[in-house]
Structure 1
Amino acid sequence: MELITESILLVVLLFFFLGAGLWVAMSLAGIGLIAILLFSSAPPGLIMATTIWGNSASWTLTALPLFVWMGEILFRTKLSEDMFQGLAPWVAKLPGSLLHVNILGCAVFAAVSGSSAATAMTVGKMSVPELAGRGYDERMSIGSLAGSGTLGLLIPPSIILIVYGVSAEVSIVRLFLAGVLPGIVLAALFMGYTAIWALLNPSKTPTAHIVMSFREKIWASRRLIPILMIIVFVIGSIYFGWATATEAAAIGVLGALLLSWLTGSLNWPTFLDSLMGATRTSCMIAFILAGAGFLSVAMGFTGLPRTMAEFINEMNLSPYLLLAALTVFFVVLGCFLDGISVVVLTTSVILPMVEAAGIDLIWFGVYVVLVVEMSQITPPVGFNLFVLQGLTGRNILYIAWAAFPFFLLMVLAVGILIAVPELATWLPQAATARN
């Protein structure tokens, strides 16, 4: 009973702080401080100082600002325009035609930016007006963009996978590799649904009259191919053991700078803008991680995570029932918080339960990211819904309804991941065996 009372008090205080507009990092650190003061005799000041320094000085975290900077550099090129022009000739003959540009474009940009909101906004700025002008169904256009925009959280290099890796103290390289196949499966589900929908609704899918030879298609994709080469090299260098995640990120930054210089989009103002954008994003995430790190240690001193893990263990829940309960929990929490905050907020409490259930932490990281993706298009506060509302000017409920089929496809993807865990574990194991 005491455990329940303490937990309820801390949860209520956390939502009070967040509801009052306090920064997420400050809210997490504040809850940690209150937990130590009320339920432990440990020195809070000393613990806070050592924990925040330890989390901030992590070498693993150095990959984060570099990957963010790579995305910021390419974001300021004509990447979205190049993607539409480069991808359109290849998908013109598929059922659904140019709607697939949304999905493939988001998959490409997801591997560049690692951000769900940036992916949806960048691709949407180009594709939504283009598809509307060609007479494509608006609801399907918005829905495919909403669903595919979430790929930014899963397809490596993913910012949220780095955050999870630091929080859970697992290999970021293995997490990146674990996210590749589930990301491809999710994109394939989106494309498959789009093709079926197009076959069932031929009147809402204009035919794209793009007739090009193979050589002409390659020429149309000439500015997209170098970006794909950067992505493949970054992920490939990690897989083959040529580089760590941090070294691969540094290579990615150099490649992005070189590419933007060759395409004429690199100048002093854009360089400074990309640097400052990466700095702001990285500092925000590092601040949240510092607050979450202190909260994790504070929870350890109070004994709450251990007691909760023992309580769950005594309930004898099967791993499947535990995952079903966690899926609902993460989706609900993700309706009110961004993905990074969800991960760092719950790691200290959830991971002891997961480890007690014998669930692989690398697999669980991919599962968490996939479920958090679902919450990004779940009303009332799905973040991607607001991004698309600002982009299209449509009502939030209209956008949520357009995105609903893709939400169901994500639920299906979670089911596939649970039924076939090798989707997330095979590639990291193969890379480990290879190296």
Structure 2
Amino acid sequence: MDISLVALLLGVVLLLGLTLGLWVAVALSACALVAMKLLVSAPSGPVLMTTVWGAANSWDLTALPMFIWMGEILFRSRISENMFTGLAPWMQNLPGRLLHVNILGCGIFAAVSGSSAATTATIGKMALPELMKRGYDEKLAIGTLAGSGTLGLLIPPSIILIVYGAATEQSIARLFIAGVLPGAMLCALFMGYVAIWALINKSKMPGADEPVPLLARIRATRSLFPVLLLIVGVIGSIYAGLASPTEAAAVGVLLSLGLSAWYGTLSRASFAEALIGATRTSCMIAFILAGAAMLTVAMGYTGIPRELAGWIGSLDLSPYALLAALTLFFIVLGCFLDGISVVVLTTSVILPMVQAAGLDLIWFGIYLVLVVEMSQITPPVGFNLFVLQAMTGRNIFQVARMALPFFLIMILAVALIVAYPGLALWLPETMLAN
């Protein structure tokens, strides 16, 4: 059968499964089974089951449930209240004032969570009522939460970077290190936009709060120390080469339990809820990865990735043109699938052409996560939008309009790391060199 007809058939099967409301993992598995049964002479059962076992039997993936559990524990603690208390006094003199707490709070929680939705929900449940009570612009307050919540995908320990690293056999530690500077850059871009907006729209900003003495600010900052120590203990141990991501994740769970006990939020019920929540999320991701692995092997037998990479190569696209096309492709795909599904679904097809274009796979992982971050705030399937819709009672498209400026800022961030790859590669290269 002609390779284009094969690709069309598999695309129809996959699209039909997703349209019928099948789980992404089931749709991927069904597509793989159709390809193996109709197009390949190899025994489909043994091949696919061996593939599923190989995908699940990965040491790198053991860090995944531990980091998810750590985030679930902290989600049920008083971490957001303490971060608001510690950050707010230092933001009073900046244009935009407490709106920056949303951004920095999301950035800090992203460093102990790895989940975009959890970051948005944790910071939003504390910061949004406070901002509304003080008279801040609702559109910008919700927009900053929607945009900054996506930092949970980029700032390590990022769940999606673990998935990408496992799928592409790249070092998770290197990916974590590579995500630091782009994450900081995105925070700075968000804060810069808020500051400019506040200077232009002074009439929409509430009156300044009473000035906080320096000593009182320092005392308030003490509430940040426990979570900062957690970040240093978990992420710092990876960067220093003292622990693998899996070992650091296990330490993070223990430290999170201790932190929750310190806050007085650790109970038998909260422990069970966190464990069940982490189990559900981990199983969902594992199921998607198994389905994606099946599809990857099936497509390898059909020869679609090789032919597609050859076709792309024959077009003689420059790396910039290829990345522009991929960015548009991922944005459209992200409107209908969650970020992890986008990564595992496209990796087997995209990677050959990325390698043929001479792009660094560590850099491409950061680029991919930045683009996938946009899918968290694009309707109709934007998880941050769902979280904020439930939190505010606003229509999902209203929330999407509020998040639009931050979506455009993410496009700028993608352009910056494409123009300056060192933003993602300098830190891991420097740290490994030392």
User: TM exceeds 0.5?
Assistant: yes
Return 225-234 or 378-387, whichever deviates more. 378-387
1:29 is matched with 29
CA offset digits 1:64-86 (Å, max 9, x no partner): 01111111111111112112112
- C-alpha separation in 1, matches of 2:337 and 2:31: 16
Aligned-pair CA distance for 1:193: 0.5
Q: Secondary structure at the match of 1:316?
A: coil
2:406 is matched with 406
- C-alpha separation in 1, matches of 2:89 and 2:285: 38
CA offset digits 1:131-156 (Å, max 9, x no partner): 11111111111111111111111000
TM-score, with structure 2 as normaliser: 0.98
1:87 is matched with 87
CA RMSD of aligned residues (A): 1.3
Asked whether the 8 Å contact 2:330–2:372 carries over to 1, the reply is yes
Q: Secondary structure at the match of 1:379?
A: coil
Aligned-pair CA distance for 1:122: 1.6
2:49 is matched with 49
Asked whether the 8 Å contact 2:36–2:42 carries over to 1, the reply is yes
Aligned-pair CA distance for 1:232: 2.4
CA offset digits 1:283-307 (Å, max 9, x no partner): 1111111111111111111111011
- C-alpha separation in 1, matches of 2:199 and 2:109: 27
Unpaired segments of 5 or more residues in structure 2?
A: none
Return 153-162 or 9-18, whichever deviates more. 9-18
Aligned-pair CA distance for 1:119: 1.1
Q: Which amino acid aligns with 1:42?
A: A
- C-alpha separation in 2, matches of 1:62 and 1:396: 35
Q: Secondary structure at the match of 2:84?
A: helix
Q: Secondary structure at the match of 1:224?
A: helix
CA offset digits 1:343-398 (Å, max 9, x no partner): 00000100011001110000000000000111221233322222211111112222
Aligned-pair CA distance for 1:210: 4.4
Asked whether the 8 Å contact 1:186–1:410 carries over to 2, the reply is yes
Q: Which amino acid aligns with 1:151?
A: L
Aligned-pair CA distance for 1:157: 0.2
- C-alpha separation in 2, matches of 1:209 and 1:103: 19
Aligned-pair CA distance for 1:3: 2.3
What does 1:25-424 correspond to in 2, within 5 Å?
Answer: 25-424=25-424
Q: Secondary structure at the match of 1:135?
A: coil
Asked whether the 8 Å contact 2:37–2:44 carries over to 1, the reply is yes
**Structure 1 pair 210/3, CA: closer, same or farther in 2 (3 Å)?**
farther
Displaced runs of 4 or more, over 3 A: none
Asked whether the 8 Å contact 2:85–2:223 carries over to 1, the reply is no
Asked whether the 8 Å contact 2:338–2:381 carries over to 1, the reply is no
Q: Secondary structure at the match of 1:95?
A: coil
Q: Secondary structure at the match of 2:265?
A: coil
Asked whether the 8 Å contact 2:71–2:118 carries over to 1, the reply is no
Asked whether the 8 Å contact 1:177–1:428 carries over to 2, the reply is yes
Q: Secondary structure at the match of 2:352?
A: helix
Q: Which amino acid aligns with 1:212?
A: V
Asked whether the 8 Å contact 2:25–2:288 carries over to 1, the reply is yes
- C-alpha separation in 1, matches of 2:397 and 2:263: 40
TM-score, with structure 1 as normaliser: 0.97
Q: Secondary structure at the match of 2:426?
A: helix
Identity of aligned residues (%): 65
Q: Which amino acid aligns with 1:298?
A: A
Return 331-340 or 275-284, whichever deviates more. 275-284
Aligned-pair CA distance for 1:257: 1.2
1:429 aligns with 2:429: yes
Unpaired segments of 5 or more residues in structure 1?
A: none
- C-alpha separation in 1, matches of 2:225 and 2:208: 22
**Structure 1 pair 269/337, CA: closer, same or farther in 2 (3 Å)?**
same
Aligned-pair CA distance for 1:2: 2.3
- C-alpha separation in 2, matches of 1:430 and 1:163: 24
CA offset digits 1:151-205 (Å, max 9, x no partner): 1110000000001111111111100011110000001000000000000011111
* Count of residue pairs the alignment pairs up: 434
Aligned-pair CA distance for 1:90: 1.2
